[in-house]
Homo-oligomer: A and B are copies of this chain.
């Protein structure tokens, strides 16, 4: 039976992430999901942008495309549409995905092209040393918000839903089992899927915002999140919901394109 080691590029370990960085847990869950789905390594392309999170692509033993900040989904669209039989997984940082990459994010969602965008939301720009991101939220301390952040944060779930994603979910690095479960659903969904994973950057977000060590931050995810529509949520509105928010079947872009070809070549409808 294959183990995680069969899916990683072992020679690059230990990885460059800081002690306690949640990105490693996402990596582990991603691989576990692929393993449990028994997908072939040759059928998977991992496309990433730039950032600590984006380094994931270098560690997995799939076809890997490490691109430009914010552009991963645009590259991925080319990969997917040109060869729809491939599974395209796009791990992204929150800044990468929603700051500079926001437009590609909403357009990939709009087209409902079958790819999985994993938004590794640590609420900070890790790679560049701790500037606030569009997911930091009000009041957060970051190197570019010394007086407290006044930028509202996006709600990734709402944005993805409004843009047209047909599968949208949220989980955290504490909830590793749920993460794996959601990844499995996402990878098999026929349409654009977004999975937001709340993850910890102890080095910058944790330190700047006095949240203690990595374990404390993971504990925070445990305490401050709850399943969608749980009773707890009714009582305490401040809780963040976890689970699958959107899961609808609607025509996927590549299949629709096949119909265009059929129409153009006069073969069938």
Contact = CB atoms under 8 A, between A and B. Distances in A.
Contacts of A102: 102-103, 106-107
A221 interface: no
Interface in A104-157: 106-107, 110-112, 134, 146-148, 150-155
A107 B154 CA distance: 9
Nearest to A145: B260
B152 A164 contact: yes
A251 to B, nearest CB: 8
B162 A158 contact: yes
Interface string A191-231: 00000000000000000000000000000000000000000
Interface in A217-259: 251, 253, 256-257, 259
Given A147-B264, A264-B147, A110 B164 contact: no
B106 A151 contact: no
Contact of A163 (B154, B253, B259): B154
Given A102-B102, A103-B102, A162-B161, A151 B263 contact: no
A159 interface: yes
A228 to B, nearest CB: 17
Interface string A160-173: 01111000000000
B257 A106 contact: no
B106 A154 contact: yes
Interface string A26-55: 000000000000000000000000000000
A-B residue pairs, 4 tightest by C-beta:
A162-B162, A103-B103, A150-B256, A102-B103
Interface of A: 99-100, 102-103, 106-107, 110-112, 134, 146-148, 150-155, 158-159, 161-164, 251, 253, 256-257, 259-260, 263-264
Given A106-B154, A150-B251, A154-B164, 16 more contacts: A102-B102, A102-B106, A102-B107, A107-B134, A110-B151, A110-B153, A111-B152, A112-B152, A150-B259, A150-B260, A152-B164, A154-B163, A158-B162, A159-B159, A161-B162, A162-B162
